[in-house]
Structure 1
Amino acid sequence: MPVDSVITLSVSYVGYRRYVKKIRLPAEQPQLKLGDVLLSDDSRLQDVVVTAEMPPLRMKGDTLEINPAAFNAGPNAVMEDVLKKVPGVVIWGDNKITVNGKVVIKLLVDGKPFFGGSFTVATQNLPPEVVKKVQVYTTDKRRPDDKTMNLVLHDDQKNGRFGNVSVAAGSGRHYEGDVTWNMYKPKMQLSAGAVSNNTNKVAGNLSNLLQYNTYRGNITHPAYQSDFLVDGANKYQAGGIFFNKEVADNRSLQIEYFGNSHQKAVERKSTEVTFVGDSSLSANETGKYKMNSWQHEIKGEYTWIRHKGTDLKSDFAVLVARETFVDSVTGYMRGAGGMLLNRSSRYAGITRHRRSAELRTVFYNRPPGTRKASFEIDHTIKAGNGDRDRTLVNNYEIYNTGRDSTQIQYNRLFEEDDQVLYNKANIAYDINYLFNKLRGRLSNNKRIYTNIRLLNGISHRYSTVSAQVNDYDPATALYKTTNNYLTNTNRESLFEERPGLSFSLGKDVVFSGRYSKKANLSGKLEWQYQSLSNKSDKVFRNLHNRYTAVLPSVVFAYGYTRLQAFSRDWSFRYTTHARTPELNELAPLTDSTNLLFLTIGNPGLKLQYQHHFSFHYQYTNLKNNHIIGAELNSAAFTNRIMQNTFYNPDGRQVLSFINTDNYRNAFAVINYRLPVKLNKIVLNLEARGEMYMETGDLFVNYEKSTFQNRRANIQAIAKVVLGNTELSVNQRALWLHNRLRFSELQTSSGFNYFTSAMIQKRIDRLTLASYTQLDLYRATQVPFISRFIWNAAISYRMLKNEQIELKVSCNDILKQNQSVANTAYQNKVNQIEVNRLTRFVLLGVTYYPRKFGHIKQK
């Protein structure tokens, strides 16, 4: 029996009065003698009516079961309203769900993912009446803190359909439109969605579109609001279809299509100050940029569970995309004393097509029981091709003495084709049976588990790039003069093999109802071999390099949990990574049309090697569900590949690559989460602090310098719910400091303070919402920036089931969106000004079709 907890003892027998007593077992005396329990005779009992009621919460083995019918969430509620009322369950501002401090990583409906697995699609659409019970359990015994939540539907509620149709239009020719439709049956799920707007609201995939358009509404959905920080004027259209079918008891097929189109127009001004030794360069540019792109992607997945412990899974993806860019820029550069160094005007027109297909097959055999060996094969093959036409027209006026100048012009047409074939296979073989003797010595509450796995990964990437480059002939007004330097065919082959050995040793101690302890030590040792072979029409690009590296890693984790009290978890991790130099770092083919920026290679580059250390700690109070976490990461490099920049007297940059050992970084995080429920007030408090530091060498004009960058970010989010009023406040302060040492010390810094507040008030069917955002920024050598954005909206729900919503919204009411951004990094300080979204008003209407329960088939 659990200690320090109230226990209800109930004794009953037919014909006698029930005996009920509340008892508590104190920790210092966990035994209680009840003596004789006497039941009094009740001869007055005539008819006996037995009524079974499922309690609000109960433990069934290792599974927590929640009865939604025990929590009154009001009319037209959804499952999210019920879960918010369950003790120990917290739904945070980012829609994460924790149960007694443990994170829910997977949400299922009747044991299956619901329309892609998004939490909000299920919790913000399904009404409580269709859910019989909610189960919370652990699926992976190796990660007991990761929980799965399963919504079990009533037998007569396993069919349903829901969605939304939303349109809005307003000032400045702004518009929005969203349509979603979802239908599910016991063995089938079908959904479709589409969106079109010019208000900077983007759904990156169909899953996002479904979770943004739920019955709960998106009037205050933080991820689906107009983004006033996106550059330029944007038009966005997208749509997709999702289909999932159980073709047999042990086979399922899933297919998803998603396509999008994006038009973008940007007007841009920028000033960049570059520190070069004791002097500086100042570059000023003004330009216009237009983009038009579309993309279509089809993905599928087939799963076949042959028998228990043997699975076959295969998935594929096909992608077709087209992009066009038009970019025109004019600018000039000044040096020491304001002396004019150069002027330039550049034009680029690019059209690009991309096509790719990928097939992945995973087969694993894991027989029941830990004493048998198992193996896994993971194979991926990917093929792609594309073509790109580029027209580049660049004019330069370079000043030698500040007065004399040289005129240079380039006008070229690039026609490029590329093909890629990628083949990869990973094989793993478990040899657990070597440790059967250990398992034979275990008691009922102790478990020692071991696992040794033989690994091997093989991959091969082969690519061909062909380029036909012609220069413009003014006499004929045609691109007919072949550029023999840039016209070439390049064939690259990269082979990699990574054999290795991994092990895992763990111990679990469980005292039922009291405490549990777990410890795990795992590691991996891999040997990485890479062979880079390149054949080109250019002799200097014919390479054949081999790289080898040993990649060790080790992880130690420990956890301690005391029932209804607290849990502590901490882990230490050490990993290594290696990066092979790329062809464009070893031997790039430099295009001279950008005369102000040239690149040369370094064939002697070595393999980059990284050591990474991390420490993680989390404390969870199981009584009030507050969570404290800390994380520390640090990395050190050997032969880090970095840039070496040379600035000519006329302001041109020549970039090359070198290896250096003097680079380190560190990243620390502290976070805190606290949910509080006091009568009718619900408070969710989240606080997070981050600190990032990096230091290393910087090479400019063959002079070695050192740089230090520090960044601190403090953020606090508070969400208060009082009845039908909801308030969210977000506070963030960001501090940047850059320190650079050439012959003398130079520093630059920046400070950004950001605060936002979102308040939502529900009055019966009326919802009022207000969103404010204040952004302050100050940095070295750039003007102070102040921006205050205020958005407000009002909506009203109509009809019996609130299926129609009328909405009026006004965005950037004060018209203070300033399109200025400042950055400082290493030896550069930038100020950029672009056109962005400003004040507009929208009037819209949304219809939510919904039907749950048995749907008659025609």
Structure 2
Amino acid sequence: MKKLHLWIFIITLFVSMPGYAQQLRVVKGTLVDSAGVPLIGALVKLSTATDSVRAASDINGGFVFNNVKFPQFTITASYIGYDTYKKRIIPDASGKPVIIDTIRLKTSSNSLAEISITSVTPVRVKEDTIEYSAAAYPVRDGDAVEEVIKKLPGVTVDKDGNVMANGKPITKIRVNGKDFFGTDVATAIQNLPADIVKNLQVIDDFGDQAKLTGVKVGEPQKVLNINIQEDKKKGYFGRATGGIGNENRFITNLKGSTFKGDRMLSFDGSMNNTNIRGGGGDGITDTKAAAFSYRNDFNKKLSLDAGYNFNSRDNNAISTIFKQNNYQTFTRYDNQSSNNTNKSMNNQFWSNLEYKIDTANYLKISPDIAFNSTSFNGRGNTVTQIKKTGSVRDNISSNDNATASIGMNVFFNHKFKKHGRNFNISANVNFSDNDNDRDARNDYANTDSLGNITYVKQFQLTAYDTYGKRAGSNMTLTEPLNKYAYADITYNYNSQSTETGRDTRDVDPVTGKEVFNTMLSNNYEYQFVTHRVGINYRYVKPKFNYMMGMNVQPAVLKGQDITRDINTHKETLVWIPSARFVYRFTKQKTLTFNYNGRSNQPTFNQLQPITDNSNLQNTIAGNPDLKPDYTHGFNIDYNQSDWTSGYNMFTNISYSRTNNRIVTTKMMLPDAIKQVTSYVNTNGFYNIRGNYEIAKPFAERKYILTYYGGSAFINNIAFTNMERNVAKNLIIDQGVKFRIFLKDVIDAELNTAYSNNRTNYSLASSAARKTDRYSLSLNGRNYFFKDLSLGYELSQVVNRGFSASNNANPTLLSVFLEQRFLKGKTGNLRFQAFDLLNQNSGISRDVYDNEIVDRQTNRLARYFLLSFSMRVRKFGGGNAGNNNGPDNRR
């Protein structure tokens, strides 16, 4: 019996030992500084001689490790600016959770420059915000914040300074929550130095109402908010640059900002003819620009941000365009060449005045004034061929346009004493006046099927005068139903009125005599008025929230052709549902779903009941019977990040369908080489898109591997010769990027991508089309002897499926050599060689309905430039021109 008990004991011990050896437990604790303030995003590590696990502290300074298998371990906690904490932990054998005593980190006495940035939290994901720590994406001393933005996962910056975040454009830059340089994103990201930035936030902005009440309806705008370090809010910085090169190339730039607490004044002025910042990729552009930005919190109640933007562009573009229009029994080919000069001058003043009247009332007033002028002069030649007929058109045209507008938006919000009850109202008004003068000279040589040639000359002068008024208001009343539920009652009013006068005269090419053209001249007015009433139900909890709503929108569209005494009157009623759902799996994983609808009215040109024959080969007739279209769609976003390593994943899928979509109709008369274009409402248009990006850092973010790509399917509708033609367009993109950053050694990115674009048509006469594009690029800088830098941009593009063109697969190589010198490394001397192989050319393909357009345009070719820049700065008592104290912590 004793032996039996002994065997039972041995077997039980044998079975339980592995379970005890693999005992899983919970380890948790809290991190604070010496004053007891929680430390957010600190790095906490549990390690043994052979293994380790990591976590980051949350918003309360807490950290937790689940399923820890170590029987004993060493805990390490680190945070930038603090001494590292380290302690050996030997838990008891009970398996109960291990509660670490509150860890208090002491401020480091060592130089900040020696502290590792491994404790920095690179990425945080919130409901509508992705926040990036600037310290986690270090750049070269003296770089602008643009260089930091280029490194952010999911964010791209093109050569013109346009910023895209998760596939959508950034429409505004803000500094500490206030608008910075208005909508001039390129100027804003070039103006701020990187080393004064604390963090950057990509925000889905639903407007002022959402900020104050949480009511989020409609489609958000992508906004990038840049927060400045507290110790950099007193001081100034500035940079001046000048350079000259061969081919009469030059650049000049002066920028700077001053800070004093919440007051900030910034200036950016530049002149260049190197297609930098606003010059665009096509043609050769001479650019002059200036921008001012001012912001100040006068007191706790009153604040102002305002600015002025000026831009002048002089562009010369030489292009060739090859078009194919597919019809049931024939194909029309157009081969065009043109030499065009475009000049523009834009002036804009904007402002936001915020007044926090008291704790219950808030007022915001936002005026906007703009004046823009453009002039165009062009010369072109078009060769058209259809079966055995053909035409040659030589044209000379010019156009002068001036537009002035003034508008204002007022927003008021009131919070009632009952928690959650809220009322807000906004009103906007805008007036615009546009004057346009155009002259066009066309010489036609038409060849019929028998080879007979007919010559036609045409010379027309046209003057437009358009006056527009737009007014609208929006009201929302929010009523709490219980602790988590709310009801929103909304009303929206919008009115748009346009008055247009058009005077067209035919000019005799020989005598110069002008004859009034009654067919192309008229006075026309139209008004579009909508009322939208809706109710939303919202449910808000920490883990998730959702909103469901229904809106009804009656609309009235009226038009009057005063010259011909023709009246148009259309009334529509649409029901517009809306929905939003947000679920936070964890603080690092968020799923968002949005559904909404919108209605759009036809444009004036589409409604105008006249036939425009200024181009005899393509006359355009308006349709006064057009109805407004209605689009409804949804999108789903999923964000996931690792706050410790900086791993980030973003995926998105969206779908939209448009009813009563306004599409073009084309009637072709092949014997006359003449196309008649008009407009009609139709159904069947929809598209679905999806994209993703996964960024995986390695070795404390010294290396980042990014996979990105997406696809889109577009079902488009067109009518050719009264036949409905469905174009099914499929686009597939895939790319891989690898970035490397080794301090004072290299900062570079290798990017390779593939794109496939194919279109199939429902009409048998329209042949399927397919293009492929492969691209490879290498951009970066290498550093030598601390102050010498070698920069390079290398790209290779291979195009397949385009029409024959010169240099369809360019290899572009640009390099620069830069030396820093003077006290504090404030001087930079740069020698730049642009497009060393002299292959810069732009080609593209667009598919519109039954039309395929291959385009090639001249671009700035090889040049050399020598430039010098100098910067000055002083923050928090530092000396001008030097980077003292905290500036060097990265």
Supply the distance in 2 between the matched residues of 1:254 and 1:573 (Cα, whole angstroms). 31
Query: C-alpha deviations, 1:670-691, integer Å up to 9, x for none?
Result: 221112225xx70122221111
Supply the distance in 2 between the matched residues of 1:158 and 1:521 (Cα, whole angstroms). 39
Given that 2:153 and 2:648 are in contact with CA atoms closer than 8 Å, whether structure 1 keeps it comes out as: no
Map 1:796-835; keep pairs closer than 5 Å.
Answer: 796-835=819-858
Which residue matches 1:38?
none
What amino acid maps onto 1:773 in structure 2? S
Which residue matches 1:4?
65
When normalised by structure 1's length, the TM-score is 0.79
Query: C-alpha deviations, 1:628-654, integer Å up to 9, x for none?
Result: 332222223333221221110222111
Deviation at 1:604, TM superposition (A): 4.0
Deviation at 1:236, TM superposition (A): 0.8
Q: 1:184 aligns with which of 243, 246, 259?
A: 259
What amino acid maps onto 2:696 in structure 1? L
Unaligned runs of 5+ in 2: 1-28, 30-62, 67-72, 78-84, 158-162, 205-210, 217-221, 880-890
Q: Helix, strand or coil for the counterpart of 1:421?
A: strand
Deviation at 1:583, TM superposition (A): 4.3
Query: C-alpha deviations, 1:541-593, integer Å up to 9, x for none?
Result: 4212112101012222222117xxxx432233332233334443344422222
Which residue matches 1:465?
500
Deviation at 1:245, TM superposition (A): 3.0
- 1:330 matched to 2:381? The reply is yes
Change in 2 beyond 3 A, CA 1:342/1:756:
same
Deviation at 1:174, TM superposition (A): 0.9
Query: C-alpha deviations, 1:289-343, integer Å up to 9, x for none?
Result: 111211111112211111124211111111112111112222221122xx24222
- 1:499 matched to 2:533? The reply is yes
Q: 1:693 aligns with which of 713, 734, 740?
A: 713
Deviation at 1:83, TM superposition (A): 9.9
Supply the distance in 2 between the matched residues of 1:455 and 1:135 (Cα, whole angstroms). 30
What amino acid maps onto 2:699 in structure 1? K
Change in 2 beyond 3 A, CA 1:854/1:249:
farther
Which residue matches 1:242?
293
Supply the distance in 2 between the matched residues of 1:63 and 1:713 (Cα, whole angstroms). 26
Which residue matches 1:706?
726
Supply the distance in 1 between the matched residues of 2:536 and 2:552 (Cα, whole angstroms). 12
Which residue matches 2:682?
660
- 1:736 matched to 2:749? The reply is no
Which residue matches 2:37?
none
Which residue matches 2:70?
none
Supply the distance in 1 between the matched residues of 2:93 and 2:711 (Cα, whole angstroms). 42
Map 1:619-768; keep pairs closer than 5 Å.
Answer: 619-649=640-670, 650-678=672-700, 682-724=702-744, 725-744=746-765, 746-763=767-784, 764-768=786-790
Deviation at 1:147, TM superposition (A): 11
Change in 2 beyond 3 A, CA 1:179/1:326:
same
Supply the distance in 1 between the matched residues of 2:147 and 2:842 (Cα, whole angstroms). 43
Deviation at 1:420, TM superposition (A): 1.1
Map 1:550-561; keep pairs closer than 5 Å.
Answer: 550-561=575-586
Change in 2 beyond 3 A, CA 1:343/1:609:
same
Given that 1:748 and 1:824 are in contact with CA atoms closer than 8 Å, whether structure 2 keeps it comes out as: no
Query: C-alpha deviations, 1:711-766, integer Å up to 9, x for none?
Result: 11112222111232112112121111111232456211111111110121122111
When normalised by structure 2's length, the TM-score is 0.77
Supply the distance in 1 between the matched residues of 2:562 and 2:223 (Cα, whole angstroms). 55
Query: C-alpha deviations, 1:512-550, integer Å up to 9, x for none?
Result: xxxxxx122212211112111222224374212112101
Q: Helix, strand or coil for the counterpart of 1:816?
A: coil
Change in 2 beyond 3 A, CA 1:803/1:141:
farther
Given that 2:522 and 2:564 are in contact with CA atoms closer than 8 Å, whether structure 1 keeps it comes out as: no
What amino acid maps onto 2:795 in structure 1? Q
Which residue matches 1:382?
430
What amino acid maps onto 1:487 in structure 2? S
Given that 1:739 and 1:747 are in contact with CA atoms closer than 8 Å, whether structure 2 keeps it comes out as: yes
Q: Helix, strand or coil for the counterpart of 1:837?
A: coil
Q: 2:340 aligns with which of 271, 280, 289?
A: 289
Which residue matches 1:360?
409
Deviation at 1:376, TM superposition (A): 0.9
Range 604-613 or range 729-738, more displaced = 604-613
Supply the distance in 2 between the matched residues of 1:288 and 1:819 (Cα, whole angstroms). 15
Supply the distance in 2 between the matched residues of 1:831 and 1:176 (Cα, whole angstroms). 33
Which residue matches 1:161?
236
Supply the distance in 2 between the matched residues of 1:161 and 1:727 (Cα, whole angstroms). 30
Supply the distance in 1 between the matched residues of 2:470 and 2:147 (Cα, whole angstroms). 48
Change in 2 beyond 3 A, CA 1:484/1:26:
farther
Which residue matches 2:888?
none
Supply the distance in 2 between the matched residues of 1:693 and 1:475 (Cα, whole angstroms). 53
Given that 2:312 and 2:343 are in contact with CA atoms closer than 8 Å, whether structure 1 keeps it comes out as: yes
Give identity over the alignment, percent: 18
Q: Helix, strand or coil for the counterpart of 1:539?
A: coil
Range 172-181 or range 697-706, more displaced = 697-706
What amino acid maps onto 1:468 in structure 2? D
Range 145-154 or range 483-492, more displaced = 145-154
Supply the distance in 1 between the matched residues of 2:367 and 2:630 (Cα, whole angstroms). 33
Range 467-476 or range 683-692, more displaced = 467-476
Map 1:105-120; keep pairs closer than 5 Å.
Answer: none
Which residue matches 2:24?
none
Change in 2 beyond 3 A, CA 1:776/1:106:
closer
Change in 2 beyond 3 A, CA 1:7/1:419:
farther
Unaligned runs of 5+ in 1: 11-18, 36-49, 204-225, 440-448, 509-517
Supply the distance in 1 between the matched residues of 2:854 and 2:690 (Cα, whole angstroms). 29
Supply the distance in 1 between the matched residues of 2:809 and 2:498 (Cα, whole angstroms). 49
What amino acid maps onto 1:490 in structure 2? Y
Given that 1:458 and 1:497 are in contact with CA atoms closer than 8 Å, whether structure 2 keeps it comes out as: yes
Change in 2 beyond 3 A, CA 1:625/1:241:
closer
Deviation at 1:702, TM superposition (A): 1.6
- 1:414 matched to 2:462? The reply is yes
- How many residues align? The count is 758
Map 1:22-33; keep pairs closer than 5 Å.
Answer: 22-23=88-89, 29-32=95-98
Q: 2:354 aligns with which of 303, 306, 321?
A: 303
Which residue matches 1:455?
490
- 1:571 matched to 2:592? The reply is yes
Deviation at 1:501, TM superposition (A): 1.0
Supply the distance in 2 between the matched residues of 1:696 and 1:547 (Cα, whole angstroms). 24
Supply the distance in 1 between the matched residues of 2:135 and 2:845 (Cα, whole angstroms). 54
What amino acid maps onto 2:391 in structure 1? N
Supply the distance in 2 between the matched residues of 1:673 and 1:190 (Cα, whole angstroms). 36
Deviation at 1:234, TM superposition (A): 1.2
